[in-house]
Amino acid sequence: MSGDRAGLLFVVSAPSGTGKTTVVERLVQIVPELAMSRSYTSRPARAGESDGVDYNFVFRSRFEELIAADEFLEWAEVFGNLYGTCAADVERHLASGRDLVLVIDVQGARLVRERCAGTVGVFVMPPSFTILEQRLRGRSKDSEAAIQRRLQTARDEVAAFAEYDYMVVNDALDACVDRLRAIVLAERARLRSARADAESIVKTFRQEGSR
Ligand code: 5GP
């Protein structure tokens, strides 16, 4: 990979309960030079989550200050809580030539695509509505009302799949991670990403030829 090119920006969306965070965490473990962005949120940390690892957890008032200061590339209200991606973090990461994945909702993904040309969108689908419902109940983190709300939102979100460049089904974790890995590798090989590498190789041929 070239040190010259800016990093690629991927946005991954999926209905809550599809397992997208687990999938992307695995993906960034196995693909070099790829990281997952850490969002800000006003929601309280769940059991097992920690600040600065899963999210940057902030009070709603602090989140609102960050919005007012225009610190977010995008932000959205999801299930009554605020979530946002810090613009400076993304810019810094991409400028260093490393690729970045944002795991954000459909509204946020729309904003990122508008603002960042070349963003690659990937929609992760649950295998079916029934399976999503089983997974949400299996997590048993949420109340029945919260589960119903997530299922209703999921109905709207799956309808947005056509706004994305790729669609993968999370039927089995390893297979889903493999498909995502294939997408990242294919995007890296596209000429818009690989041109600088190709040109520097071509240059070595020119030098050889002029001897
Ligand atoms: P959870 O509270 O279950 O971690 O996340 C709820 C939803 O918020 C998920 O759909 C997740 O993708 C989305 N989300 C997490 N971070 C961000 C963000 O920075 N921006 C937006 N727009 N959505 C986010």
CA separation (Å) from 21 to 27, 54, 103, 199?
A: 10, 10, 7, 36
Q: What 3-state DSSP class applies to 84?
A: strand
Task: State whether the beta carbon of 73 lies less than 6 angstroms from ligand 1.
Answer: no
- pLDDT greater than 80 at residue 207: no
CA of 203 to the centre of ligand 1 (A): 45
Q: What percent of the chain has pLDDT over 90?
A: 88
CB 64 within 8 A of CB 129: no
Residue 112: pLDDT above 70? yes
Per DSSP, the three-state class of 12 is: strand
What band does 5 get if pLDDT is binned at 50, 70 and 90? Answer: confident
For residue 100, the CA-to-ligand 1 centroid distance in Å is 16
Condensed to tens digits (0 to 9), the pLDDT of residues 69-78 reads: 999 999 999 9
Mutation test residue for ligand 1: of 18, 51, 83, the one with most atoms within 8 Å of CB: 83
167 near 123, Cβ under 8 Å? yes
Task: Annotate 189-204 with DSSP letters as a single string.
Answer: HSHHHHHHHHHHHHHH
The three-state (H, E, C) secondary structure of 61-81, written as one string = HHHHHHHHCCCEEEEEEECCE
The rounded distance, in Å, linking the Cα atoms of 50 and 79 is 20
Nearest to 16 by CA among 106, 145, 144: 106
Cα first-last separation, the chain: 28
What pLDDT, on the 0 to 100 scale, is given for residue 2?
47
pLDDT at 209 over 60: no
**What CATH code is assigned to 9-37+98-209?**
3.40.50.300
Strand, coil or helix: what is 172?
coil
Q: Report the nearest-CA residue for atom 23 of ligand 1.
A: 104
What pLDDT sits at residue 1? Answer: 46
Residues 167-180 pLDDT 10s: 999 999 999 999 99
Tell me the pLDDT tens digit for each residue of 129-171: 999 999 999 876 778 998 999 999 999 999 999 999 999 999 9
According to the model, what pLDDT value does residue 3 have? 54
| Gap from CA of 193 to ligand 1 centroid (Å) | 28
DSSP strand pairing (9-13 vs 120-125): parallel
Burial class of residue 208 (count of CB atoms within 10 Å of its CB; 0-12, 13-18, 19+):
exposed
Give the residue, by CA position, lying nearest to ligand 1 atom 1: 16
